[in-house]
Amino acid sequence: MAEAAVEFAIKTLGSLLVQEVKLLGSAKKEVESIKSELESMRSCLTNADATAAAEEEGEGDECVKTWGIDDVLEKIKESKIRSICLFDVDKLPRSFMSAFPANCKLLKVLDFEDAPMDYLPDGVGKLFHLHYLSLKSTNVKELPKSIGMLINLETLDLKWLCVAMFDCVVSDLEKRM
């Protein structure tokens, strides 16, 4: 009888130990993945800091540029910009909002998080290469119908937004995502 109890305990504990090892193994992979992501972020931020410092001294990196919102329109005309991320912008001129879709056809990332904007220009739907669009914490109330034409869109961040969406826009996006 004692032998049967020990055998039962070994089988039970053995399967529990195997499960624990699997769980810890996947946790280790997750921790390594998070560590890698954080190191990548740190590297990016270090590069951005170095680029900003170099631009202040008149030297610049051709890959990463930081501009004031007033300078952006002139500098981006017919450019090959792939990302626009706005930080600490007090206001967005209407000229910028209407011009960037036409002037930045190669955009993949468009991050308007916390930007002082109340609409998204209809021309955004023509940004064929756009993969990421964030309107998080903006005042946008309505999405343009053209947003359904974004066939490469992978992420649409609408957190903290009260948006009146069109059914056809949602269904077009759902088909593509």
From first to last of its 177 residues, what are the pLDDT tens digits of the chain? 667 766 776 777 777 777 777 777 666 777 676 776 667 666 666 766 776 777 677 665 555 566 666 666 666 666 778 888 887 788 888 888 888 888 888 889 999 999 999 899 999 999 999 999 999 999 998 888 888 899 999 898 888 887 765 455 556 555 555
Question: How high is the pLDDT of residue 83?
Answer: 84
Question: How high is the pLDDT of residue 89?
Answer: 82
Quick check: pTM over 0.85? Answer: no
Question: How high is the pLDDT of residue 161?
Answer: 82
Question: How high is the pLDDT of residue 128?
Answer: 92
H helix intervals, the chain: 2-56, 69-76, 94-103, 167-176
User: For residue 72, what are the contacts with CB-CB under 8 A and spacing of at least 6?
Assistant: 96, 100
Distance CA 9, CA 161 (A): 55
Which one, of 93, 99, 154, 91, lies nearest residue 124 by Cα?
99
Strands 109-111 and 83-85: parallel
Distance CA 131, CA 100 (A): 16
Question: How high is the pLDDT of residue 85?
Answer: 83
